[in-house]
Structure 1
């Protein structure tokens, strides 16, 4: 069986979304949709590992300011289509975190805002993600947790994957926190204290956040498909996505 977690030296949260049980009991195909943390750090041989996945499309969910500061994935031979589609007009303000409410409440509120934000180009992101011609496709943000986690949840939901599996996939990001922080501390010791001072929702994974979010999302929008339709996708495109990504 293919591995869910894909091993890279300078990216710690790269995962294949295949293997889950989707609509009509059909399995999501491996090797078609990949979720990741930032790919801007990748050098050889990591770039060779990325090429070996046959990636046709990269969807970068980060802001322009993040890309200006950190760069973008170094695949510039023209074989891979690169799309920057920022899901945030501005990064979250740590000052808005209320410790008494806890990290889960903060994350759920931010996720619902992102999903509802008329300025967030969620339709454009989903348009890339559901396009079979764009696959294999990787989408990523900075840590691969929040923006990437929401897009992964929507993609899996459109494929009919159960809510428990969607929440479990989100929770797997927790395994990447330790390796990333060890690298960060060794590489940027002068920034380590500021990293530690970030509120818990920014630096840890609250596994129950997705499990709490999904019922609220469905109560608001009715279904994953209804949400996609509200963002400009057609029922035919959703059906084509399922036909291409689910095993017969």
Structure 2
């Protein structure tokens, strides 16, 4: 009985013909490995159960096969999408690399321009410092010249004032001398000394020349 069930169970997993063959072995009481197969009373029930189980197993396998095929198709689609994404990513990486190279070249060019501009600015600042130094030196020179000129002007003004004072003093002194000479001349003319000396016109000329000489400080009275 146990061997019959085992045969039915093992055969039911493959196909219905194997199950019928196992039942046929059970009916004819064939000896197998020293055991006698006897027909059981409930063999139709067990056979139907095994057949139903085999059918269910077959259906389950079919469903699993369908599910596996569906999963395979989905995985293929995913792989194709991933492959397209990978190709797109590689294209994007190539584009980014090209942009990166271009950006690096632009950066190097800008760096060169920056260094050049920095050098120009440094040179300009140095020139500006030199110009400020020269300007400061020129300003000091001009200030020194202005101070010297101012001192010279002040000295000249002082000398002019001194000379004016000297001229006024000489004019005052010579003016009194002229008055004395005029008085002497008047006395001489009153006593009739004109005929002994020069004419009146010459005396007037000498008097005028003496007045001119007073301004120069070189006139001396003559009797």
TM-score range, shorter chain: under 0.3
More strand by share: 1
Q: What is the TM-score normalised by the length of structure 1?
A: 0.19
Which structure has the larger Rg?
Answer: 2
Relative to the length of structure 2, the TM-score reads: 0.20
- Relative CO higher for 1 or 2, CA cutoff 8 Å, sep ≥ 6? 1
